[in-house]
Amino acid sequence: MVPRLIDVPDLVGGAAALVFDKDGTLLDLDSRWVVFFTALTDAVLEALDATELRGSVLEALGVGSRALVPHGVAAAGTGADVRAVIDGVLSAAGYSGAGIDAEIASAYLSAPMGTLAPLGDPARVLTQLRDAGRRVGVATADDRERTLDDLDRLGVAHLVELLNCGDDRFSKPHPRVLLDMAESWEISIDGLVMVGDSGHDLATARAAGSRFIAVSASDLVGADAWVETVDEIGEALVSSISGD
């Protein structure tokens, strides 16, 4: 049993808005991104004839053969963070030149993605929240174009009112991510709950002053509550409305 500091129905029932992370919260992180980051690394290193650095780059990014390292750059960083890490490993090994950034940027846009696998039933949960009058947002480290495509394929794009992405002016863990959403919805930050699986998500909530629910991340110390999947948030909403 995963411990909870605040009763989830009370937390969800008292919220005016919930903002969800995407990968690791609505979507399975590893099935989606291990393929991408491995392909990205291989493409860059092959183009630069630097394949001997494959292990070093993957380790620096936090990419294993089957899973990403929790809270690592690949798991929680933006595209800019990823490019900086790859560039750093290459520079340390003596690789330099204007062509490196171009190769990284090209590979980042063209590397194949893994399987898009929902965690639980996000479409049902976000529909429940909308129907109960809760505002719904998404804040992700991923870029906007790919995020819009993912949300559409997941069947929740029409349910997400506000979206913050890694290539926006402010991105996680900057407090403006949640503060701007609260301002747009004309609600107090106390009425907004961030839902995520990484240290970046928790840091975003704490910087803005909002509550935080950790999804399937029992080692994430400092969360206000924990759930195994977002399905429990839908169940908590029903429970709070019914008074059970």
Q: Give yes or no: residues 151 and 55 share one domain.
A: no
Query: Of 84, 110, 136, at which residue does a domain stop?
Result: 110
φ, ψ at 111 (rounded to 5°): -65, 140
What pLDDT, on a 0 to 100 scale, did the predictor assign at position 217?
Answer: 64
Q: Which domain holds residue 104?
A: 30-110
What pLDDT, on a 0 to 100 scale, did the predictor assign at position 1?
Answer: 41
What pLDDT, on a 0 to 100 scale, did the predictor assign at position 193?
Answer: 97
**Long-range contacts (CB closer than 8 Å, 24 or more residues apart) made by 91-96:** 93/50, 93/53, 93/56, 95/48, 95/50
Query: Of 86, 110, 134, at which residue does a domain stop?
Result: 110
Report the CATH number that the domain containing residue 231 is assigned in CATH. 3.40.50.1000
Q: Structurally, how many domains does the chain consist of?
A: 2
- Environment class of residue 116 by beta-carbon count within 10 Å: exposed (0-12), middle (13-18) or buried (19+)? middle
Q: Give yes or no: residues 15 and 54 share one domain.
A: no
Tokens of 181: 């959403």
Strand order in the sheet with 135-139: 162-164, 135-139, 17-20, 192-196, 211-215, 225-227
| Residue 162 forms part of a structural domain | yes
Query: Of 110, 132, 166, at which residue does a domain stop?
Result: 110
What pLDDT, on a 0 to 100 scale, did the predictor assign at position 149?
Answer: 96
What pLDDT, on a 0 to 100 scale, did the predictor assign at position 2?
Answer: 46
Q: Give yes or no: residues 155 and 211 share one domain.
A: yes
| Residue 3 forms part of a structural domain | no
List C-alpha distances in Å: 31 to 17, 93, 155, 177, 181.
29, 30, 18, 27, 30
pLDDT in tens, the chain (244 residues): 444 467 899 999 999 999 999 999 999 999 999 999 999 999 999 999 999 999 999 999 999 999 999 889 999 899 999 999 999 999 999 998 778 888 998 998 899 999 999 999 999 999 999 999 999 999 999 999 999 999 999 999 999 999 999 999 999 999 999 999 999 999 999 999 999 999 999 999 999 999 999 998 667 888 999 999 999 999 999 888 766 5
